[in-house]
A and B are shown apart, each in its own frame.
Chain A
């Protein structure tokens, strides 16, 4: 088997057995990136020198008998995570020349585990988008068909993993930005519970929703990375002080006796029929593997998208006020006064979708409108969260589609924000309620992959990964690689 088709567990075993060094492994992935990135645009920055230095250090660590399961394994980081001394752009003109002065906690922790940094992946600008078309550095292409989007906002990480330019990559998920692109490119992606993974050094979009996670071919691969990323961090005030499970060990859990609820609201109007059929087949497979499948309802869930498009823009307008053209980021030429400096720096530095969301948020928070929009949305958010709580009184996990359709054409939805926003109709609920959720590949419509989503109660990452792993032991959709990148 070629190196890039191997799982993290297989790569780790190969490194341990001395079949290849981390330097050789790293060179293999760097040459794949060099060959494919012009076509895919998955990486904003390739850190070849850093990668080889990391790999040499990993090989030395192994020689010294100090290697863990991830030592010497190459990965990529979404360009939303600060990397000390490396350009960190958030795919925005605003930060096009920003060199992060410190490492995000997850960057630090994965480095400490011995991973090798291949580079920083492209994304929707400030993680605002579902197609990767809002990036200042241009759209990412879907490796299954370059005319299609890879999803977003973690589209670069998704495309890089799907084309096997990296064994795994980090992502962030505010309204579906890990799960939706994972579904559209045929890989696995987990958004952990809100507060499970530190957000220190992760550029903020909507602070009551943002969460970091992992994208990789399989749930097992995700488990290997999620474990060291998780856990309490004093530098993130929303970080939760709870013990972290051994996610790799927990993969052995059986599906027998597990109750899985099919979310009625997710199989309604708007779900493309081929996608619905593949997801239904996955539900049947879970039943065959021993899970008890029942239908459940979360009646307020269809309100997720309008709720999100009040809450997220409101928080984004506040978070992005830090970009003022003074301390870091883009500054306009020859400002005539301070107001001109603010307005022109921000007007030039932010792209159209980011400005649209800042203005939506500014409006819903403005005097006279706060109660009608923001407070109202927070109340509906309570209703949605309560629906999930009721559902988890009856079942262990929920199941449904990740996205309503397979990957769509680049440009097809770009001019209509509402159509674009509705891509996240099945993913936003988990963010509003702070729940962990995973998308895994479950088949194809034509040449394009389809994802099935599992949602769990708070802190059920181990159970989610185990259920996904049980499915992946019986199916091979997660092993399929686009022909052009096999």
Chain B
């Protein structure tokens, strides 16, 4: 599996990753290598085998009662935010 520059630019856009022109050829090469490496899975006959999403058979995700368990801690949480105003997260204007 060999990726082109355009492929990698497309993937980087989907992943919302800014990639520089110097980084791009490095990723074209290494991602192509990784995909070629994992291509060996294609030789495995898997037919109707059930895909395994979770390592523990029979354990199901629990549900909990729909009750409030968290207290308001926005001041503490927002201390880590890059930009806050009036207890709101500030981002560049989205709607003109």
Determine whether A99 belongs to the interface, using a CB cutoff of 8 Å to chain B.
yes
A387 to chain B, nearest CB (A): 12
Determine whether A18 belongs to the interface, using a CB cutoff of 8 Å to chain B.
no
* A326 and B88 alpha carbons, distance in the complex (Å): 10
Contact with B along A358-372 (1 / 0, CB 8 A): 111011101000001
Q: Which residues of B contact A378 (CB under 8 A)?
A: 51-53
B82, A331: Cβ atoms under 8 Å? yes
Determine whether A342 belongs to the interface, using a CB cutoff of 8 Å to chain B.
yes
Contact with B along A426-462 (1 / 0, CB 8 A): 0000001111000000000000000000000010000
A196 to chain B, nearest CB (A): 10
Q: Which residues of A contact B (CB under 8 A)?
A: 97-99, 101, 193-195, 208-209, 234, 237-238, 240-241, 300, 303, 305-307, 309-310, 317, 321, 324-331, 335-344, 346-348, 350, 352, 355-356, 358-360, 362-364, 366, 372-373, 375-383, 385, 417-418, 421, 432-435, 458
Q: Which residues of B contact A385 (CB under 8 A)?
A: 52, 55
B59, A195: Cβ atoms under 8 Å? yes
What are 23 A-B pairs at a CB distance below 8 A?
Answer: A99-B80, A237-B61, A240-B59, A305-B37, A309-B38, A326-B82, A328-B80, A338-B94, A355-B23, A355-B27, A356-B34, A362-B15, A366-B14, A373-B38, A375-B51, A377-B41, A379-B44, A381-B51, A383-B49, A385-B52, A417-B34, A418-B34, A435-B55
**Chain B contact residues (Cβ within 8 angstroms of A): what range?**
35 or more
* A366 and B93 alpha carbons, distance in the complex (Å): 29
Chain B residues numbered 10-32 whose CB sits less than 8 Å from any CB in chain A:
11-20, 23, 26-27, 30-31
A158 to chain B, nearest CB (A): 24
Closest 6 CB pairs of A and B: A434-B55, A347-B18, A378-B51, A331-B82, A343-B18, A379-B46
* A344 and B19 alpha carbons, distance in the complex (Å): 8
Chain B residue nearest in CB terms to A359 = B11
Pick the contact of A309: B17, B34, B46, B93 (CB < 8 A).
B34
A317, B15: Cβ atoms under 8 Å? yes
Q: Which residues of B contact A339 (CB under 8 A)?
A: 16
Q: Which residues of B contact A330 (CB under 8 A)?
A: 82
Chain B residues numbered 24-73 whose CB sits less than 8 Å from any CB in chain A:
26-27, 30-31, 33-35, 37-42, 44, 46, 49-56, 59, 61-62, 64, 73
A28 to chain B, nearest CB (A): 34
Pick the contact of A366: B11, B33, B44, B53 (CB < 8 A).
B11
Chain B residue nearest in CB terms to A361 = B15
A239 to chain B, nearest CB (A): 9
* A363 and B10 alpha carbons, distance in the complex (Å): 9
B46, A376: Cβ atoms under 8 Å? yes
Determine whether B81 belongs to the interface, using a CB cutoff of 8 Å to chain A.
yes
* A366 and B10 alpha carbons, distance in the complex (Å): 11
A326, B91: Cβ atoms under 8 Å? yes
B46 to chain A, nearest CB (A): 4
* A98 and B56 alpha carbons, distance in the complex (Å): 33
B13 to chain A, nearest CB (A): 8
Determine whether B83 belongs to the interface, using a CB cutoff of 8 Å to chain A.
yes
Given A234-B64, A336-B92, A356-B31, answer yes or no on A383-B38 (Cβ-Cβ < 8 Å).
no
* A350 and B11 alpha carbons, distance in the complex (Å): 16
Chain A residue nearest in CB terms to B49 = A379
Most A CB atoms within 10 A — which of B15, B19, B54? B15
Pick the contact of A98: B8, B34, B41, B80 (CB < 8 A).
B80
A415 to chain B, nearest CB (A): 9
